[in-house]
Structure 1
Amino acid sequence: MSVAPVPLPNVQLLYGPMLVGVFLNLILYGVLLGQTLNYFQVYKRDPTWMRLFVGYLFAVSTANSVLAMHMMYEPLIIGYGQKPVFFPTVFMSESLCVVLVSMPIQVFFAWRIYQLTKSPWVPVLIAFTAIASFGGGVWTTVMVHVLKLFAKKPLLHQPALVWFLTSCVADVLITVSLVWTLTGKKTGFSATDSVVDKIIRATIQTGLITAIFIILEVVCFMLLPHYAINFVFDLALSKLYVNCLMSTLNARQSIQHTDNPSTFQQRNVMLSPSRGMLGKQETFFDTSGPVGSMYDGREDRHIDDLEYGIHMTKVVERIEDPLPRGERR
């Protein structure tokens, strides 16, 4: 008498999305390897604290990828054939790794916005939401360890929503604030404004992608509480945050690139007959050092952009017309 084989449990809607999320995580980790290598090779003159910051983010991202691989190895190989009852042992590390990179990156952007605007209100709000997101991520980590069962996943809604929604608010505030601030820095000179436009486009492209992933995660998390579809987006979040920051840091070279890779100058000379003065307006880009510079001639002011490494200074230079007043045309 033959014994009918025991059917294997269906894990497609639980471990399947988690496995896809790990695939995305590892693909983005490969991108991060290239981004980090390029940063340390090209920007050797960046401040020490910035290079240590990048090193910290890379270390946490590496640990996250290692833990993500173990997270899938445990149920699919060690526990092969068993019903998907428990969360993988190291699954609780996922939310912790995400907030360990997202919170400092969001605070960094808040500090950068303060450097650009010198107004504390929006940066303080961004920092507050980033810290609240960190708290929600730690709360989620603790609850995963306490609950342990996939069947209790709906009980994670409250801490997870604190984490996701505050992080999404911080990302949207960062993107809107940077676009608004940079738009106000336009000078009217085509060369300078072209660089500012490139920075704005890069800010939108890199800033909104994390917010979109978080929104998709919240939607899947709330509408499909007993499935793991949301983990497709969750497991890629930490790499998205770090890659977005690294892409903006590495974009400094391409954004400031012109026909001459080291410097570009544009001079406009105009005659001011009403004052009898020769007005000279100059726009200057310098990318030879660790921090590029832009100068134009409208007024004296200095603007720092430490993410893109741009110092923008407006200078006016006027020279007396050497011709006597009666001989001017």
Structure 2
Amino acid sequence: MSSPSPAEVENLVVLFVGFAFATFVYGLTFFQTYIYFSRYSNDHTWTKLLVGALFVLDTTSNCLVSDRLYHYMVKMFDVATEVLYATPAFCIQYLLSVILTMIAQLFFASRLYTVCGGPTSITSKSVSTAVLFCAFIAFVFGLTSVGQFFQQRQLSTFASPSMAIIAGISQCFAAVANIIILIAMCWSLRPARYPDMLQPQGVFENLAVLFVCRGLGLVIIQLMYLGTFVASPGKPYWIAVQMVAPRVYTNTVLGLLNTREVKHGVGLNEEETLSDRQDSQNNSFPGQLRFRDIKTTQQSLSFSPQGESSRGSEIEEACKSYADNQNLESISSHCSEQNAYDKASLS
């Protein structure tokens, strides 16, 4: 048996690396879905349907990625794979990645519509419309790429100008939508606009909020996808990123939902009122308990001189009333004993 060619080794290595990372990130999808349904039991119906749809689509996509690896590394073990062909499972998985990208961007568009000012704000309408427009263009051109996938079936044809332009436009508009999401989320959810909002503490929490709740992870994975494709559309490098990208989109949405605090089984967004969040601390998990303001706690525990004197007078009055009650009880018991003695002497 002849040794594999460099092109064949390159293709198989890219497929295996993409499968390994995609499977690892899918484990986070499974874990986060379990956390959501166990913690937010009374959450809104539409949010539950969103999480369920993301889990089903991401699970199906990951199964198709596994089928792709099985096809090239097991079924075609004795066949040279210097040129990769798109199997039906590959085409369907590519379609699911386009759908998952669209769902995640629609979710963030709805978040921006809320945090940027609501239905009465022109900024809210403008930003949400811009994200929806870019997401729609990316979705339409992504569907066109899927149709070309089903027709051509040869991945090297993406190097052709027509297919490269269509796929590049789809990925470019998706990247623009993610950049708008990142900038708008960071601008809207700043302490100046929401002074009562809980602020992250430490490097880890700040990175988690930036990557998940603000959408930096979406920007990074989409720019990696766009960069690898534009740099070499005829090479398989972008395929590995394409395997991982849908799971990053899914876990970003699930992570944002799972970082909310809980109140009676309903998730509270980070821009919710302070009173609602303080009430929710009694209903949240131990890991969710946080102190809003240490100074307020210290002020509530401190005693002023006037308060101490008033409390001292109250204690003295209570002691006096207690002593009076004791004296009354002793007098009444003495009188009852004297009456009993008189009755006995008369008898």
- After TM superposition, the score normalised by the length of structure 1 is 0.72
Tell me what 2:340 maps to: none
Tell me what 2:39 maps to: 42
Deviations 1:256-281 (CA, angstroms, capped at 9, x unpaired): 9xxxxxxxxxxxxxxxxxxxxxxxx9
Structure 2 counterpart of 1:14, from 5, 11, 15: 11
The structure whose Rg is larger is 2
The answer (yes or no) to whether the contact 1:179–1:200 under 8 Å persists in 2 is: no
Q: Which has the higher strand share?
A: 1
Q: Unmatched 5+ residue regions in structure 2? A: 119-123, 264-273, 293-347
The answer (yes or no) to whether the contact 1:9–1:81 under 8 Å persists in 2 is: no
Q: Which amino acid aligns with 1:158?
A: I
Change (3 A) 1:75 1:113: same
Tell me what 1:204 maps to: 210
Q: Distance in 2 between matches of 1:88 and 1:78?
A: 14
Q: Distance in 2 between matches of 1:106 and 1:248?
A: 13
The answer (yes or no) to whether the contact 2:86–2:154 under 8 Å persists in 1 is: no
Q: Distance in 1 between matches of 2:219 and 2:249?
A: 10
Q: CA deviation at 1:244?
A: 0.8
Structure 2 counterpart of 1:28, from 4, 25, 33: 25
Structure 1 counterpart of 2:224, from 205, 210, 216: 216
Change (3 A) 1:13 1:282: closer
Q: CA deviation at 1:226?
A: 2.6
Q: Distance in 1 between matches of 2:277 and 2:221?
A: 39
Structure 2 counterpart of 1:246, from 245, 250, 254: 254
Tell me what 2:339 maps to: none
After superposition, where does 1:1-329 map in structure 2 within 5 Å? 5-10=1-6, 11-84=8-81, 85-89=83-87, 90-116=89-115, 117-118=117-118, 119-155=124-160, 156-183=163-190, 184-187=192-195, 192-195=196-199, 202-206=208-212, 207-253=215-261, 285-287=278-280, 288=282
Q: Which amino acid aligns with 1:167?
A: A
Q: Which amino acid aligns with 2:253?
A: L
Change (3 A) 1:252 1:129: same
Q: Distance in 2 between matches of 1:100 and 1:77?
A: 29
Q: CA deviation at 1:202?
A: 4.2
Q: Could you say which structure has the greater relative contact order, defined with CA pairs below 8 angstroms and 6 or more residues apart?
A: 2
Change (3 A) 1:289 1:237: same
Q: CA deviation at 1:284?
A: 6.4
Deviations 1:159-195 (CA, angstroms, capped at 9, x unpaired): 21122111111111111111111114232xxxx3543
Q: Unmatched 5+ residue regions in structure 1? A: 257-280, 297-329
RMSD: 2.7
Q: Distance in 2 between matches of 1:127 and 1:196?
A: 29
Q: CA deviation at 1:16?
A: 1.6
Displaced runs of 4 or more, over 4 A: 196-203, 281-284
Deviations 1:290-321 (CA, angstroms, capped at 9, x unpaired): 9x9xxx9xxxxxxxxxxxxxxxxxxxxxxxxx
The answer (yes or no) to whether the contact 2:138–2:171 under 8 Å persists in 1 is: yes
Deviations 1:182-226 (CA, angstroms, capped at 9, x unpaired): 114232xxxx35437899754421211221122122222222233
The answer (yes or no) to whether the contact 2:200–2:209 under 8 Å persists in 1 is: no
Change (3 A) 1:78 1:169: same
Q: Distance in 1 between matches of 2:251 and 2:44?
A: 20
Q: Which has the higher helix share?
A: 2
Q: Distance in 1 between matches of 2:105 and 2:156?
A: 33
Q: Distance in 2 between matches of 1:26 and 1:34?
A: 13
Identity, % of aligned positions: 22
Q: CA deviation at 1:145?
A: 1.5
Q: Which amino acid aligns with 2:75?
A: I
Q: Distance in 2 between matches of 1:99 and 1:149?
A: 19
